[in-house]
Amino acid sequence: MKLEVHERIALLSILPKEGDYAALKTIRRAREMISFTPEEIKFYELTNSIGEDGKPNTSWSAAKAQEQIKDVPVDEFTTNLIRTELSRMNDKKKLNEQFLSLYEKFVIMYQ
């Protein structure tokens, strides 16, 4: 699945941090595929900081992000985890603009 920089960052934030052994092994592989390599960090000029509100902020070069969109292989188990979490966020009206394109790719396209 083709994922932009902001989508990869958003996905990393919603992948579960706990579960059974098999789930955690699969989630670890998904995190490794979605995460940024050192070369990508340099290419996209990714930086992390803490905002005035105390929340972490990640910034990158928007121009370079448009040059290269990563095709990330996402297995069925991980797709279902992501779809479930995005649907849960939508049901609770906790979905925000950060997750909009992911919701369209993982939930709407699979309906």
48-88 pLDDT, tens per residue?
999 888 888 899 998 888 888 999 999 999 999 999 999 99
Q: Is 56 helix (H, G, I), strand (E, B) or coil?
A: strand
Q: Is 71 helix (H, G, I), strand (E, B) or coil?
A: strand
Which H helix or E strand runs over 3?
strand 2-3
In whole numbers, what is the pLDDT of the chain averaged over residues?
92
Q: What is the pLDDT of residues 32-43, one digit of tens each?
A: 999 999 999 999
Query: Can you tell me the mean pLDDT for 82-104?
Result: 95
Instruction: Look up the pTM and report it.
Output: 0.89
The domain limits of the chain are 2-77
The whole-number pLDDT of residue 111 equals 67
Residue 106 has pLDDT above 70, yes or no: yes
**Cα angle 3-93-83, degrees, rounded to a multiple of 5:** 40
The whole-number pLDDT of residue 94 equals 94
